[in-house]
Structure 1
């Protein structure tokens, strides 16, 4: 029983570690899948080598005239999962002109730069394609496509920050930029490849509040909080009776003196209470006057 539990836990840890080193890969094309190319795997967890091999086989058939390879580092599948995260990219994939898709949510060991470079080399070598300036294309200068000439357009985005709000904002901006870049491709046959790399830093849920206007009482409060934190961090972990000296020499001498004084007082009170006076001592006949008469 313990062995099976340990194996289950180890397997869970291995799967968790594997998913930490994964990132999505997206390919969508207006061209149909050539008959000479095997269909893309529907597995949502694939190795980078498998994705690269299947994509290279598709591109080696030279299915389109325009190829766009977009690189986005530091992306996890959870970044693209919400419907509100990349609405323009979803619209492009769902466009009626798209006939071929290869959407993998978890690619193990993906490197957006290496994959983009190898796919670029495949298109250039197999299709004799030329690289077109992405800046010209973004500004509306359409490449000249004559006699089946094929063109590759490369674009890349900056890595997403670790802070969640900033991460969502930048991903949304990149999504809008990619849509503006790709929406005009519907004029010709096209293939869009969206390569990513895994997240290497911990995604922060939220950042501490940092006010824009630093007033005096804000600074005082900040100092108080800092002092409190420092005090808590240096708290003495010793037990109560080791931390404090309850029986000091002065206290011991005071208790001892009080004990002797109380003992003396007790003896005195006991002596006073032991004195006995007879009732005859108060009789007139037995008193001092009676002795004088005699």
Structure 2
């Protein structure tokens, strides 16, 4: 029983870490340039990220005038639902004819490889920033916008405004014949990684050695608390089920049929 509980706890902890170090990929278009990938695994490995995104584009993607790739480092899927700093992005996705997403990609997406793949497959060109030239091109232009890493709400709002201006530039160049890929070249780092500290985050100066350990260190993070909470629920359900199963007893003897007088 203890081994089974430890295995459950370890699996849950691994799942929390796996989802924490992921990035999303949101795609939308005013035309039918996107498709849903059937059988997609829940967390896409980093090595398969570019091919998975390419598979999410329809076979007609090379008919687009512009394929816009937006790189927002340090973004997680939860940020998009919890923050109000993505007004323009949410509105563009809402107004799009087709939209799809790869919710969890491990670690990061290689944006340069993705841009090169699309340009190679469609025999198009790559431009960086909003340097789009007017004119009719048979092959699509892959426009890459790299945003600065945003660590607070104000920075995210500024980046959202840059995305808005970038897509407006794309619309001026391609009207409604374009597709947008919004993803991240690096996963969001936890506070301990950003400060290059150990897993035990300091809460008190080193001189205060006499203080209790819980006053000097943060030993539990929200992810750890969530893991323990889920583990306790699962272990409780499994324990009750095993108790019921082991409590089942077969009768020692069976009563015979009553004799007729």
TM-score bracket, shorter-length normalisation: 0.5 to 0.7
Q: Judge conservation of contact 1:89–1:175 (CA < 8 Å) in 2.
A: yes
Aligned alpha-carbon RMSD (Å): 3.0
Q: Distance in 2 between matches of 1:32 and 1:234?
A: 65
Provide structure 1 residue ranges, at least 5 long, that are not aligned to the other structure.
162-166, 205-227, 236-294
Q: For the structure 1 residues 133 and 53, does the alpha-carbon distance in structure 2 shift closer, same or farther, using more than 3 Å as the test?
A: closer
Q: Judge conservation of contact 1:64–1:189 (CA < 8 Å) in 2.
A: yes
Q: Judge conservation of contact 1:69–1:154 (CA < 8 Å) in 2.
A: yes
Q: Judge conservation of contact 2:53–2:102 (CA < 8 Å) in 1.
A: no
The residue aligned with 1:144 is 135
Worse overlay, 121-130 or 48-57: 48-57
Worse overlay, 150-159 or 54-63: 54-63
Q: For the structure 1 residues 136 and 125, does the alpha-carbon distance in structure 2 shift closer, same or farther, using more than 3 Å as the test?
A: closer
CA shift at 1:136, angstroms? 3.4
Q: Judge conservation of contact 1:32–1:63 (CA < 8 Å) in 2.
A: no
Check if 1:173 corresponds to 2:158. Answer: yes
Q: For the structure 1 residues 44 and 144, does the alpha-carbon distance in structure 2 shift closer, same or farther, using more than 3 Å as the test?
A: farther
**TM-score, normalization by structure 1:** 0.58
Note the 1:112-131 alignment, pairs <5 A.
Answer: 114=110, 116-131=111-126
The residue aligned with 1:194 is 182
Q: Distance in 2 between matches of 1:31 and 1:89?
A: 17
CA deviation profile, 1:194-245 (whole Å, cap 9, x unmatched)? 12121124189xxxxxxxxxxxxxxxxxxxxxxx97874357xxxxxxxxxx
Q: Judge conservation of contact 2:25–2:183 (CA < 8 Å) in 1.
A: yes
Q: For the structure 1 residues 229 and 181, does the alpha-carbon distance in structure 2 shift closer, same or farther, using more than 3 Å as the test?
A: closer
The residue aligned with 2:209 is 233
**TM-score, normalization by structure 2:** 0.64
Check if 1:157 corresponds to 2:147. Answer: yes
Q: Distance in 1 between matches of 2:170 and 2:206?
A: 59
Quick one: which of 47, 50, 53 aligns to 1:52? 50
Provide structure 2 residue ranges, at least 5 long, that are not aligned to the other structure.
194-203, 212-261
Check if 1:104 corresponds to 2:110. Answer: no
Normalized per residue, which structure has more helix?
1
| Counterpart secondary structure, 2:82 | coil
Q: Distance in 2 between matches of 1:153 and 1:231?
A: 53
CA deviation profile, 1:98-153 (whole Å, cap 9, x unmatched)? 23322233211323xx2x1122112221211122353434xxxx53224x242121
Q: Judge conservation of contact 2:129–2:146 (CA < 8 Å) in 1.
A: no
CA deviation profile, 1:144-185 (whole Å, cap 9, x unmatched)? 224x24212111011123xxxxx1111111011101110354
